[in-house]
Amino acid sequence: MNSEVNIKRIDWISVAILSLLVLLGLGNIYSSSQAYLLESIFSMNPFTKQLLFVIISIFIFLFIQILPFNFFIKYSSILYVISILSLIGLFLFGNEINGALAWYQFNGFSIQPSEFAKPITALALAKYLSDINSNLKTIKTQFYSFLIIFIPIALIILQPDPGTILVFLSFFFVFYKVGLPSIYMNFFIGFIIIFFSTILLTPKYVVLFLLTLGLILSYFLRRNKNLLRKIFLYVAVFSVFIFSVDFIFNNVFEQRHRDRFNIVMGIEQDFRGSGYNTNQSRIAFASGGMFGEGFLKGSQTRGKFVPEQHTDYIFSTVGEEWGFVGASFIIILFTTLMLRISKRAELQRNVFSKIYSYSAVTIIFAHFFINIGMVIGLVPTIGIPLPFLSYGGSSLMAFILLFSIYIKLDSQRTSKW
Amino acid sequence: MKNRLLPFLIISSSIIFVFRLFWVQLINVDDVKLSNKNSVEKVYNYPERGYIYDRNKKLIVGNEPFYDLMIVPSKLKLVDTIEFCEILKIDKQTLLDKIKKAKNYSRIKPSVFLAQISKNDYAVIQEKLWKYDGFSVRKKSNRNYLLNSASNILGYISEVNDYEINDNSYYESGELIGRQGIEKSYEKQLRGVKGVSYFQKDNFNRITGRYKEGVYDTLFKPSKNIDLTIDSELQVYGDSLMINKFGSIIAIEPESGEILSLINAPNFDPNLLIGRNRSKNYINLKNDTIGKPLFDRGLQGMYPPGSTFKLINGLIALEENIITEKTKISCNEGHFYSKNRFMRCHCKPGTKNDLNTAIYNSCNTYFATIYKNTLDKFSNSKEGIDNWKRHVTSFGLGDYLGYDHPLGRPGLIPDSKYYDRWYPNNRWRAATTISNGIGQGEILTTPIQLGNIAATIANRGWYITPHFVKKISDDSIQIKFREKKYSTINSKHYEKIIGGMFDVIEKGTAQNSKIRDIEIVGKTGTAENFTKINGIRRQLTDHSIFIGFAPKDNPKIAIAVFIENGYWGTRWAAPIASLMMEKYLKKNIERKYLENYILSGDLSKEYLKPYGNGNFTINE
């Protein structure tokens, strides 16, 4: 087992992309927190705090690189238990910020354990699924894998923090990749499609469409008994789901959640209430134009019109001050990074490292998709940070941790198991 | 599939995101232009509205400042409530209510505390205001009409309505726009172009500085002052002559087409339509359905021109070689133009009139006959009447005259199509339309058109489109107000008509209107008119009409006077016209007896007749 730091084998390109993202994040946080800077020059403001976290992050990165390779395999279970305990501990010692019981606070700093639960759950899943006895085709392995992600999900539902729940649900992509039967994935994707179409249309029409589709398919496939049975199953399950969506949407969701969906789906327009953020964000993007208004010159940004702009809405600052070119550049950086990690994951022969790397991409992608989709008005408003760019110590350090472990595992790629 | 799902999702969502960015940043950006951006506050600065002078450079419309007292509740510090209430002349409860109202609106944004404070009150407040934090004064400006007359010419200004805001990108809510008259037709020149400054705001709507160091800011373009063609002294004098009469006087300088005065009676004080009581006063004026002061009779009233129109028919007959000045036509208290179509005349049996005597005696038979002959010159009446109309319209009749005032009516000059509609299958002939010969029948003219006829005759065959504006700051007026328009009648024929018009004053129908030392010419008219009372057509007392000009050679003033239900043209219209001429040409009135007769003339009983119950007699 080779536990030395292998500098030559470190994925320097990914490190460079990540560093660029973090620096761009710092610049945009500086810009979007201008108002704070003016108010209090000497006290801690978002920019100086974030700068501090970046420095800490560098140490995290270096620390991970000098750890022995099998440290992660060995201690992932213990880390997982600690992580779960920290989530439970919130209900005893936690503080509520913005309506979510998700933070430990001391001395002006706050830590969000659910952020760290993401890389640790990835480690735990990698460990369990890389075990020679695990086989996702079996109900038993399915049960334990689901349990690993549903324990944190259950605890986070209680906070509540819908964004983080969605991130944990994205582990299904990892399961699918590692060997979960495709029927689960079909249901998963089917549910998403049906969820939105049910909100947009009415359940009646969606069911009617589904039944028609089922009938047509059954006619053409009438000789294949096996397929016919499957079609029947899907139609039945989806029909039940359609009506439960209607019920959940109208009875379980709160009005603000319904509003957010309705606004993204274009059913409602409300520029003062729930649609305020989305609209302000769109104005920021539109005023950016092709090349942007320039660093520190975004008028919407300077006027603090976009709420949470230095955290979840950081991308709108990019859009306003750096324009279409700058915003597209960030998207290209993310895409390159994610594709690079997933490609190198494919090359991994070590199953643990492979599954972990895959989980890392999935987590980054879930954040990327939900956050940018929300900021540019394609996804309902869900509070979730943009990896590496958004202000927030826990988020930044957890993502650096996630990334550092990937770099470490990746640098040991050719070493033997 | 399993290995490609995630890369596929990553790439496809990135592509969607870039397309979406392209859409929101470069394509669909209309709704987020600078003006709509809520981080930017637009502050306009307005040039002072242009002044209006009369033709002698006398200021008749200026501006008067007034003040709004503004309050910012968050900065409020009331050191001495009792004194403060005394200055503002309000009681303590009102003060508290107003502060509460302002707080409800916004604690940090200024709102109006006391609106439209006059100059005098402001002087008192200004002295003490420094003691009270949170109050400031916003200066605004409104029109000040210095001449208690000519409201029909000047028009008024008021705040733009929603329709105008949507229709015209220049205006924004709360801004003022010219509503009528000169204020409307010269709105662009009088208002100038507002300037704009942009300020950066924060999310509490507080201004934090200039937006982009003011690179988008613009300075206003100053407004322009306007010199009217109106002689304000003549205008005011005309108003006094029209007291207790409904109608209109139009005086035009024939040589230039400049309108010296346009009097509409009854009139109203233009200052009624500014300030806080504007809408109340407007409704009162609107509700006066008998006097209709908002209805400009001179520009909008369409009436039969009566005998004044005989001059036109005379000119046409001369041009068409139907008559010469020597042609005599006999009259026997009237004439049969066809079976069952007899028109009465006041000439004694056996009278033989030539053109001159026909004009000053206003012989119906003469003019009806030559009208009929003019039409019958052609093989069919259709061609005849269309040719006749061609001549008539060359005097500016039958269509909008094209002056620079928003109000107007075309009048009506019938043609063959018109009669074909009423009498299909060729059931009409020249005799059917015989009333046109004496200015009755279907013909309708507005008083300003009559004034234009007087100007055309004064010029012996041409006119310049009448207009109200002489000069706009340094710009010259529109070219159409400098071009001569010629009538279809040869100028040599005019002297023959003018000779008759001279005798109207000397020995004809308007001998009461002579002025010493000035040769005036003119023609009286008396127009039958009808109304409907409870659905029944009833004749009312005739309109009293006069058109003319003076002096006879080298005319300085052409005039048309129209008095509703005044009966004979001689009774009211002619003396009023001659007094206007005397006032304009001699500056003071020597014929005090005539002036007194007009000033004390009261027709208000006449106007109430149709509204009373029961019967009334006309033409008393």
In SS3 terms, B66-88 reads as EEEEEECHHHCECCCHHHHHHHH
pLDDT at B32: 56
User: Is A186 among the domain residues?
Assistant: no
- Contact by Cβ (8 Å): B137, B127: no
The whole-angstrom separation of Cα B214 and Cα B233 is 49
The whole-angstrom separation of Cα B478 and Cα A177 is 82
Pairing of the two strands B59-71 and B111-117? antiparallel
pLDDT band at A1 (very low <50, low <70, confident <90, very high): very low
Q: Tell me the shortest Cα–Cα distance from B194 to chain A, in angstroms.
A: 24
Question: Under DSSP, is residue B401 helix (H, G, I), strand (E, B) or coil?
Answer: coil
Q: Residue B24 is nearest to which of A286, A331, A343, comparing CB atoms?
A: A286
Phi, psi dihedral angles at B337 (to 5 degrees): -95, -25
The whole-angstrom separation of Cα A263 and Cα A258 is 9
- Higher pLDDT residue, A78 or B168? A78
pLDDT in tens, B296-342: 999 999 999 989 999 999 999 999 999 988 889 988 887 777 777 78
pLDDT at B231: 94
- Average pLDDT over chain B reads 86
For range B185-201, the mean pLDDT: 84
Whether A338 sits inside 8 A of B3 (CB atoms) is: no
Q: Residue B7 is nearest to which of A280, A331, A342, comparing CB atoms?
A: A342
Which of A340, A364, A332, A337 has its CA nearest to residue A174? A364
Structure tokens at A402: 């996630």
pLDDT at A36: 57
pLDDT band at B382 (very low <50, low <70, confident <90, very high): confident
The whole-angstrom separation of Cα A287 and Cα A291 is 10
- Contact by Cβ (8 Å): B47, B223: yes
Q: Which residues of B touch A328 (CB under 8 A)?
A: 18, 21
H/E element holding B268?
A: none
pLDDT at A25: 92
Which of A338, A296, A248, A288 has its CA nearest to residue A34? A296
The whole-angstrom separation of Cα A143 and Cα A176 is 14
How many residues in total does chain B contain? 620
Q: Which residues of B touch A285 (CB under 8 A)?
A: 21, 24-25
Whether A303 sits inside 8 A of B200 (CB atoms) is: yes
pLDDT band at B257 (very low <50, low <70, confident <90, very high): very high
DSSP annotation of A272 reads T
Q: Residue A323 is nearest to which of B25, B28, B200, comparing CB atoms?
A: B25
pLDDT in tens, A185-199: 888 888 888 877 777
The whole-angstrom separation of Cα A126 and Cα A363 is 14
Q: In this model, does residue B35 exceed pLDDT 50?
A: no
Structure tokens at A314: 């950081």
pLDDT at B424: 85
> What's the sign of the alpha-carbon dihedral B7, B8, B11, B13?
negative
Q: CA nearest A303 in B: which residue?
A: B202
pLDDT band at A38 (very low <50, low <70, confident <90, very high): low
- At A242, which amino acid appears? I
Q: pTM of this prediction?
A: 0.62
Whether B28 sits inside 8 A of A285 (CB atoms) is: no
Q: In this model, does residue B487 exceed pLDDT 60?
A: yes
Instruction: Judge whether B13 is closer than 8 Å to chain A, CB to CB.
Output: yes
Instruction: Judge whether B206 is closer than 8 Å to chain A, CB to CB.
Output: no
Token pair 């480690």 in the structure block, residue: A123
DSSP annotation of B444 reads B
Pairing of the two strands B536-550 and B462-464? unpaired
The whole-angstrom separation of Cα A143 and Cα A239 is 25
How many residues in total does chain A contain? 417
Query: Domain of A388?
Result: 7-179+272-411
pLDDT at B560: 95
The whole-angstrom separation of Cα B158 and Cα B594 is 41
| Interface probe, candidates A32, A276, A318, A324, chain B, greatest B C-beta count within 10 A | A324
Burial of B121 (0-12, 13-18, 19+ CB in 10 A): middle
List residues bridging with B42 in a β-sheet: B198
pLDDT band at A302 (very low <50, low <70, confident <90, very high): low
Q: CA nearest B18 in A: which residue?
A: A328
Share of chain A above pLDDT 70, in %: 88
- Higher pLDDT residue, B204 or B467? B467
Distances (CA, A) of B72 to A40, B110, B135, B333: 26, 5, 6, 84
Whether B25 sits inside 8 A of A289 (CB atoms) is: yes
CA angle B145, B148, B150 (to 5 degrees): 85
Whether A288 sits inside 8 A of B200 (CB atoms) is: no
Q: CA nearest A182 in B: which residue?
A: B2
Q: Which of A8-12, A96-100, B449-453, B573-577 has the lowest mean pLDDT?
A: A96-100
Give every CB contact of residue B144 below 8 A, 6+ residues apart in sequence.
Answer: B61, B62, B63, B64, B271, B274
Q: Tell me the shortest Cα–Cα distance from B32 to chain A, in angstroms.
A: 6
Burial of A20 (0-12, 13-18, 19+ CB in 10 A): middle
The whole-angstrom separation of Cα A25 and Cα A183 is 40
The whole-angstrom separation of Cα B353 and Cα B361 is 9
- Contact by Cβ (8 Å): A65, A404: yes
Share of chain B above pLDDT 90, in %: 35
Q: Which residues of A touch B35 (CB under 8 A)?
A: none
Whether B39 sits inside 8 A of A299 (CB atoms) is: yes
Q: In this model, does residue A149 exceed pLDDT 80?
A: yes
User: Is A371 among the domain residues?
Assistant: yes
Share of chain B above pLDDT 70, in %: 95
Give every CB contact of residue B370 below 8 A, 6+ residues apart in sequence.
Answer: B313, B314, B317, B322, B323, B329, B437
Q: Residue A285 is nearest to which of B24, B38, B211, comparing CB atoms?
A: B24
H/E element holding B559?
A: strand B557-563
Q: Which of B102-106, B396-400, B565-569, B580-584 has the lowest mean pLDDT?
A: B102-106
- At B3, which amino acid appears? N
- Higher pLDDT residue, A250 or B497? B497
Helix, strand, coil percentages, rounded to 5, for chain B: 40, 25, 35
Most confident stretch, A254-263, B30-39, B418-427: B418-427
pLDDT band at A86 (very low <50, low <70, confident <90, very high): very high
| Interface probe, candidates A264, A310, A338, A367, chain B, greatest B C-beta count within 10 A | A338
pLDDT band at B82 (very low <50, low <70, confident <90, very high): confident
Q: In this model, does residue A203 exceed pLDDT 50?
A: yes
The whole-angstrom separation of Cα B303 and Cα B60 is 31
Distances (CA, A) of B124 to A49, A63, B84, B89, B258: 55, 76, 11, 11, 46
Token pair 């024929």 in the structure block, residue: B493
Whether B21 sits inside 8 A of A346 (CB atoms) is: no
> What's B232-288+297-611's CATH class?
alpha beta
Whether B32 sits inside 8 A of A283 (CB atoms) is: yes
Question: Where are any strands of DSSP class E within A313-381?
Answer: none
Pairing of the two strands B226-228 and B469-472? antiparallel
Question: Under DSSP, is residue B277 helix (H, G, I), strand (E, B) or coil?
Answer: coil
- Higher pLDDT residue, B445 or B122? B445
Q: In this model, does residue A304 exceed pLDDT 80?
A: no
Q: Which residues of A touch B28 (CB under 8 A)?
A: 286
Q: Kindly provide the ipTM of the predicted complex, given to two decimals.
A: 0.88
Token pair 């735990």 in the structure block, residue: A124
Give every CB contact of residue A39 below 8 A, 6+ residues apart in sequence.
Answer: none
Other Cβ atoms within 10 Å of B375 Cβ, number: 26
| Interior/surface letters B36-58, b for 16+ CB within 10 angstroms, e for the rest | ebbbbbbeeebbebbbbbbbeee
Q: Which residues of B touch A283 (CB under 8 A)?
A: 32, 37-38
| Interior/surface letters B299-332, b for 16+ CB within 10 angstroms, e for the rest | bbbebbbbbbbbbbbbbbbbbbebbeeebebebe
Q: Residue A304 is nearest to which of B28, B203, B212, comparing CB atoms?
A: B203
Instruction: Give the side-chain half-sphere CA count within 13 A for B416.
Output: 15
Q: Tell me the shortest Cα–Cα distance from B160 to chain A, in angstroms.
A: 27
Q: Tell me the shortest Cα–Cα distance from A300 to chain B, in angstroms.
A: 6
For range B229-254, the mean pLDDT: 93
Whether A332 sits inside 8 A of B14 (CB atoms) is: yes
Q: Tell me the shortest Cα–Cα distance from B181 to chain A, in angstroms.
A: 43
The whole-angstrom separation of Cα A271 and Cα B320 is 75
Q: How far apart are the first and last CA of chain B?
A: 107
Q: In this model, does residue A412 exceed pLDDT 60?
A: yes
**Domain count of chain A?**
1
Q: Residue B25 is nearest to which of A288, A305, A338, comparing CB atoms?
A: A288
Q: CA nearest B35 in A: which residue?
A: A287
- Contact by Cβ (8 Å): A189, A241: no
- At B451, which amino acid appears? G
Instruction: Judge whether B3 is closer than 8 Å to chain A, CB to CB.
Output: yes
Phi, psi dihedral angles at A201 (to 5 degrees): -95, -160
- Contact by Cβ (8 Å): A297, A231: no
For range A311-318, the mean pLDDT: 88
Question: Where are any strands of DSSP class E within B221-309?
Answer: 226-228, 247-253, 258-265
pLDDT in tens, A334-380: 999 999 999 999 888 888 999 999 999 999 999 999 999 988 888 88
Which of A199, A184, A193, A188 has its CA nearest to residue A245? A199
User: Is A218 among the domain residues?
Assistant: no
pLDDT band at B452 (very low <50, low <70, confident <90, very high): very high
Whether B6 sits inside 8 A of A362 (CB atoms) is: yes
Q: Which of A85-89, A112-116, B131-135 has the lowest mean pLDDT?
A: B131-135
List residues bridging with B43 in a β-sheet: B197
Q: Which of A218-227, B143-152, B498-507 has the lowest mean pLDDT?
A: A218-227
Whether A376 sits inside 8 A of B17 (CB atoms) is: yes
Most confident stretch, A251-255, B141-145, B412-416: B412-416
- Contact by Cβ (8 Å): B150, B270: yes
For range A403-415, the mean pLDDT: 84
Distances (CA, A) of A328 to A291, A342, A376, B12, B400: 11, 21, 12, 14, 62
Pairing of the two strands B111-117 and B247-253? unpaired
Q: Residue B202 is nearest to which of A288, A304, A335, comparing CB atoms?
A: A304
Question: Under DSSP, is residue B181 helix (H, G, I), strand (E, B) or coil?
Answer: helix
- Average pLDDT over chain A reads 84
For range A269-282, the mean pLDDT: 64
Q: In this model, does residue B202 exceed pLDDT 70?
A: no
- Contact by Cβ (8 Å): A309, A301: yes
